[in-house]
Amino acid sequence: MGLFSKLFKKDPQRPEIKERSPLSIEVGDIVTYDLVDYEVVGKITYRQDSYEWFGYQLLEGKNTLWLSAEMDEQLELGIYQSVNLPVSKPFPKQLTYQDSIYYLDEQGEARVVGEGRSRNINGRQIQYAEYYDEAEEHYLSLEDWGGEIEASYGYEIAPYEIKIIAGSI
């Protein structure tokens, strides 16, 4: 056995770290976006029939962002922030936010599984609605958690704009 084979020999005591993708991020991982490192402190898996998508709660200091990830025809990623937008049900066909009109794109129901800070929502059924602006560059997302409607404002990003560092095995 040569010197290099000893140096690069796999240590059976140390398991290999799995490479992460936007669809396999775990609580405890680090996501770098816009030159800022965020810790993944929560994860929500949304399931509607056989389709699923993910929301990751990213925290840096007091700054919280949500990274959404779904595989439709191609990988779709978005960055969202919670906003104060009073909305009641039924979800309207259009919304106005920051002087822009947003149009209803889709709505439905999903069952959720939460991890980390989001673990208290396990098994809940939510209703959601997705909106886009006229240029289809910015989005509003509404989620009804049983009487409380949460609103988020976001935009699409490209996969190369984030870097994922596995925080655990």
Ordered by start, the domain boundaries in the chain are 18-165
pTM above 0.85, yes or no: yes
Question: What integer pLDDT is reported at residue 15 of this predicted model?
Answer: 56
- Average pLDDT on 51-70 reads 97
Over residues 114-128, the mean pLDDT reads 93
Confidence of residue 11 (pLDDT cuts 50, 70, 90): low
CB 109 within 8 A of CB 127: yes
pLDDT computed for residue 66 by the predictor: 98
Neighbours of 44 (CB within 10 A): 25
Sign of the dihedral through C-alpha 113, 118, 124, 128: negative
Question: How many C-beta atoms surround the C-beta of residue 55 within 10 A?
Answer: 22
Contacts 24+ apart (CB under 8 A), 68-72: 68/141, 68/154, 69/22, 69/23, 69/25, 71/23
Q: Can you tell me the mean pLDDT for 90-101?
A: 96
